[in-house]
Amino acid sequence: MTLLLSKAFKELSKLPKSVQAEIASELLGDIESEIKWDKALSESQDKLEKLADKALKDFKAGRTKKTCPRENGDGLRLLKHI
């Protein structure tokens, strides 16, 4: 455990039990999400590499075309949703 995490837990122990439980619940949720993301990314690495290789081959073979989101309005439409 890092010194920073130890310090955070020490300070957390000074708070009311209800606050400790709330923060612990949030922290456990964050940890679970991190584990899921790490697993998903590690499992998809081969697939992503294959897709990138295919895209590069298509580009080199002239099977791609240059596009600009502003040409067809997609970029502007996406910005309205952000």
> For the segment 25-35, what is each residue's pLDDT rounded down to a tens digit?
999 999 999 99
Tokens 């010194």, residue located: 3
> For the segment 45-82, what is each residue's pLDDT rounded down to a tens digit?
888 889 999 999 999 998 888 776 665 555 555 555 44
Q: Minimal CA–CA distance to 65: which of 75, 76, 51, 55?
A: 55
Euclidean distance between CA atoms 34 and 30, whole angstroms: 6
Euclidean distance between CA atoms 52 and 60, whole angstroms: 12
Q: Give the DSSP H/E element, type plus range, for residue 4.
A: helix 3-12
SS3 state of residue 48: helix
